[in-house]
Homo-oligomer: A and B are copies of this chain.
Amino acid sequence: MCDTMPDVIAVGSIGLDTIKTPFGSVKKELGGTAMYSSIAASIFSPTGIVSIAGKDAPKKQLDYLRKRVDTKGLQIAKGKTMEFHCYYEYDMNEAHITKTDLNVFGKFSPILPEEYRKARFFFVGALVPELQMKVFGQMESPEFVVLDTKPMFIQSSRKKLLEAAGRSNLLLINEWEARQLFSTPNLLKAAKAALKLGPEYVIIKKGEHGSLLFTDGAYFSAASYPLENILEPTGAGDSYAGALMGWLAKNGKVTEKKLRKAMIYGAVVASFTVEGFGLSRLKSITLKDIEERYSEIKKITCF
């Protein structure tokens, strides 16, 4: 990679992850929204990354990233890469975060290289909403922009976050975030409130329970792929988002019908991610692996 002009631009954090689960651990491996989403997207479409890492980022891992995606938008700054430590207990539903050192990420200002500004698809991952708005300001004629967030920004920058959501084509949030952001336990009500802000689509991610798509007058309930052995759940949501974007970018104009399929591809790719530690499984999957699980989800939802 990548002389091709990227179709998908993934914006977000890069961190050095140290993660423990009852089944093993990773130590200081590159992870973060931009890593998972860009690598997942690159399975389907040429992808570029906008992020920041420190001079200490492991060369071998950066080299891998450079092979998979265009890294013109990756800033390598003086100082240390963001560091993230967490552990999961046996049920793996909750990440127990023990350390987040922002380091160079604390000074991150996303800058889109000239050629990225003309890209068609943007995944604007969880960032301070002010920075997300800055990304919007640099796009020239985006076809489809997906916005993600995380719980801390609902508390700290709710108003700005709602403004950013209004400028996206698709707001992608999880179940908990939807309930918090729109002050209702009812996901249908939350989605309706989200649609009123401006995006054409809202996707609510529910982890093992699948995901829901809402748009004016339509609704889609996507199943997840059933897994018996989850080794480490970090990056599932970002893999989902990246695969969704990559698949959409590969398949022409976005329609509700295509989004349904893209959500299933997202679920499939996320299902592989959590079967390995860090990026290990995501790195090794093939289109054939993906198509097999896609077909299986068809079978297990048919009645």
Residues of B within 8 A of A221 (CB): 210, 223-224, 226, 300-301
Q: State in angstroms the CA–CA spacing of A91 and B185 once bound together.
A: 5
Q: Which residues of B contact A226 (CB under 8 A)?
A: 187-188, 212, 219, 221
Query: Beta-carbon contacts of A179-213 to B below 8 Å, as 1s and 0s?
Result: 10000011111001000000000000010111010
User: Do B301 and A185 touch (CB < 8 A)?
Assistant: no
A223 proximity list for chain B (CB < 8 A): 221, 223, 301
Task: Verify B93–A303 contact, CB threshold 8 A.
Answer: no
Report copies per complex: 2
Task: Find out whether the CB atom of A186 lies under 8 angstroms from the CB atom of B230.
Answer: yes
Q: Is A120 at the interface (CB under 8 A from chain B)?
A: no
Judged by a CB distance under 8 angstroms, whether A222 is at the interface is yes
CB A192 to nearest CB in B, in angstroms, measures: 8
Across the interface, which residues of B come within 8 angstroms of A210, CB to CB?
A: 209-210, 221
Interface status of A220 (Cβ within 8 A of chain B): yes
Q: Which residues of B contact A222 (CB under 8 A)?
A: 303
A sample of 22 cross-chain residue pairs with beta-carbon separation below 8 angstroms, ordered by A number, consists of: A90-B185, A91-B179, A186-B228, A186-B230, A187-B208, A187-B226, A188-B226, A188-B228, A192-B228, A206-B209, A209-B209, A209-B210, A210-B221, A219-B226, A221-B223, A222-B303, A223-B301, A257-B303, A260-B302, A260-B303, A261-B303, A298-B303
What residues of chain A have their CB less than 8 Å away from a CB belonging to chain B? 90-93, 179, 185-189, 192, 206, 208-210, 212, 219-224, 226-230, 257, 260-261, 263-264, 298, 300-303
